[in-house]
Every structure is written in C-alpha cells, then in structure tokens.
Amino acid sequence: MSRPVSESIPIGRRSLPFGTAFLPELSMGVDLSRYGYAEEEYLFRGTATVWRHGADGTHEAVKADLPFCTRVLVRRPASGRSSGLLQVEPLHPDLDSALIWNAIHPWILRGRHTWMGVTVFAPVARQLTELVDPERYREVDIPEDGMLYDVLGAAIRSAIAGDFGPIGVERVILAGMSATGSFCRVVLQDGFHERWMRDDKRHLIDGYVIGISSGGAGVAGYPPLSEQDAVLAADDPRRTIDPHDAIAFEVLSETEAETHEPVTRADSDDPHSLYRLYEIGATAHVEAHPSVLTNLQQYERSGGARPAFEVRERRSDARFDLYLRGAFEAMHRWLASGELPPRADRSIWRGLSRPR
C-alpha cells in the first residue's frame, strides 16, 4: 500500500470548512483567534479495506485497497507551542458534527492541546460533495461504508508523521459520543487497536474516551464492521471493555446506564489495562445547554433540509459536558505523569433504582 497523501485546503472568508469553529457574521461558535489557535483543513488520500467477521470471529477482507479521499479538520495552537496531546474525533454521521469538540473545547483550549476531526462515514462524504460545498469538496470520496476504520487509522498515523502541520504528537486520545462512541468501542475491542502501530512500535492510540454509548445496546452499541457483517451477539465478550495495553474510560449519561449494565466490568488500576466507568446521574443522551457547532447553519445555507431530529427523552439541563471535561483531564494526567484517575460510585442502576 502506498503512503497516504495530504493536501491543505485554503480557508478564506468566502470558503470555510464545513463545521468551522466560528461563523463571524453570526457570532456563532468559538473564535479560535482569541485563544491563539489556528484552524486548518486537509484533503487526505489513501487506500482502505472493507472488513467483516469471519466464521472464527477474526477479520476478513470483503474488498481491499479501495482508494478514498476524505477531509481532516485540525485545530491547534498557532504558535506551535502545543501540549503534545492530540485528541482525535471521528466526526458524527449527523452532519459530520464534532460532538466531543462541542463538549470539551474549553479544556482543549486551556491545555493547548490539538484537536483533529476526520470524516469517516460514506454518506457524509456524499453530502459534502453533492450538497454542502461541491467545489470545496469535489474530490472527497469514501465509496464504501465499511472503509471507516482504515480511513481513521491512516489519518492518525499521518498526523503523528506531521502531515497535517506541526502538531508535535506525543500522546493520542480517541473519543466519540453516541454513534462515534460506539465506533471507538469497536476500534478498541475488535483488533484495530493492536494492529495500528507507530514506527517506534507503540500503539497509535494511547487512550479511549467512549461517551454516551451503551455496549449492551444491540447494534447501536457495537455496530457491524460493514454492511456485509453480522450484528455482534448480545453476550459477546467484546461488548465489555478490555483496554488492551491502553487506558479506557466509558462516560455515560443516566440514559445508557440500564442497557449497559449487562456488559459492565470492574474499574482497574492495571497500568496495561487501566479502566474507569463514569455514569453521570440526572444527565441524558441529549443535553439542553447551547451548542457551539456550526454544521446545521452551514448545511441549511447550502440548501439542505434534514428531517426533524426526534428526541425520545426529555433533554437534561444537567452538565454532562463538565464531567466529560473532567474525564479528559484525568486521562491526560495519567498519560502525562501516571497519576491514577479517580473512581466514581456506580449508583444509577447498581443500588438505587435496581437494588440487589
């Protein structure tokens, strides 16, 4: 396989990235210049394999070496004085939204960390080229839905190599929320983590934060590798996190706690398998506090109209995002200095609502 290639996409007042951090005419989002940050966007080309599970549970290729071109969005300290931490987010299938950035951006900016979002879902790639900005994204193409894992792994490897600017990557945290939280669970649990290695033989990813995703929630909690793959059985051990020589946090709202109960495990201080579960009472899958995301406004400006998003629960005004920032800080301290993260009482379904 040839080495993936990146190409910077110019950013100007009349041509902004989709989901840009800030829309000045609406005073919407986060003005990165106030924090000494720069936003950059890249086209990223490579090849990927579509995977499925074979009869023995291991990966087998459905299609191999398929060319792709995606986009990578980077927010980093403009001066280059970064912390060395790269937080990677697979962008959400709902309008390529950066749900982790939305929740933790104050922590990113205070710590001078770098954030990177990667378009990995094939339907979103088609939205970018067909509607959002056909000129800016005319080359974007992810032809098969099942390419997303290889696309992300190649992007992280290229970021470490310096292909997306002078990030200076020392540590990588992969994180997602809801559908992308489940995506991160599959990366960790299904063999990708072990295969994705750096040139110095370290794993590409040091830590995982899996947000508002229940491992016991059927296909939603552990999606198949591709359209040609079967849904993982409810009792499959891969639904229960094993950090595989990494550090992993699951940070759940009260909404996910019940269906997640059958796949829970004990917290662990093992340095090769450090794990924490944080269940945040009174929080919901969708929060009521304001968003800093610009995707919907840009999508509607381009003529897009999506169906109304139905929330089947009452939105919570509790601040899940504040707890999530605390989880990231705890993980960062462990990765930087070995400081053990705090433990949390698991009282939502183990003791209060469902006493044993």
Taking only the tens place, the pLDDT of each residue in 148-160 is: 999 999 999 999 9
Residue type, 42: Y
Q: What is the pLDDT of residue 354?
A: 41
pLDDT tens digit sequence for 123-150:
999 999 999 999 999 999 999 999 999 9
pLDDT reading at 99 higher than 70: yes
Question: d(Cα 57, Cα 55) in Å, to the nearest integer?
Answer: 6
- Flag whether pLDDT at 335 surpasses 80: yes
pLDDT score, position 1: 46
Among residues 240, 205, 228, 210, the alpha carbon closest in space to that of 59 is found at 228
Model-level pTM? Answer: 0.94
Please report the pLDDT score of residue 40 as a whole number: 96
The span from the CA of 333 to the CA of 179, in Å, is 27
Distance (Å, whole) CA 142 – CA 160: 22
244 versus 94: the higher-pLDDT residue is: 94
Q: Note the pLDDT of residue 355.
A: 34
Task: Give Cα separations from 62 to 72, 145, 191, 334 (angstroms).
Answer: 26, 12, 17, 38
From residue 25, alpha-carbon distances to 11, 15, 75 in Å are 16, 14, 20
- Contacts of residue 299, defined as CB under 8 A and 6 or more positions apart, other chains included, come to 18, 95, 127, 131, 132, 306
- Please tell me the distance from the alpha carbon of residue 196 to that of residue 193, in angstroms, as a whole number: 5
Average pLDDT rounded to a whole number, residues 41-60? 95
Better-scored residue on pLDDT, 314 or 260: 260
Instruction: Indicate if the pLDDT at residue 44 is higher than 90.
Output: yes
In angstroms, rounded to a whole number, what is the distance separating the alpha carbons of residues 15 and 11?
A: 6
316 contacts 283 by C-beta, under 8 angstroms: yes
> Which structure tokens are listed for 264?
């829970």
Share of the chain above pLDDT 70, in %: 94
Instruction: Please check whether the domain covering 23-352 is classified as CATH 1.10.3470.10.
Output: no
The CA-based angle 231-235-237, given to 5 degrees, is 95
pLDDT band at 2 (very low <50, low <70, confident <90, very high): low
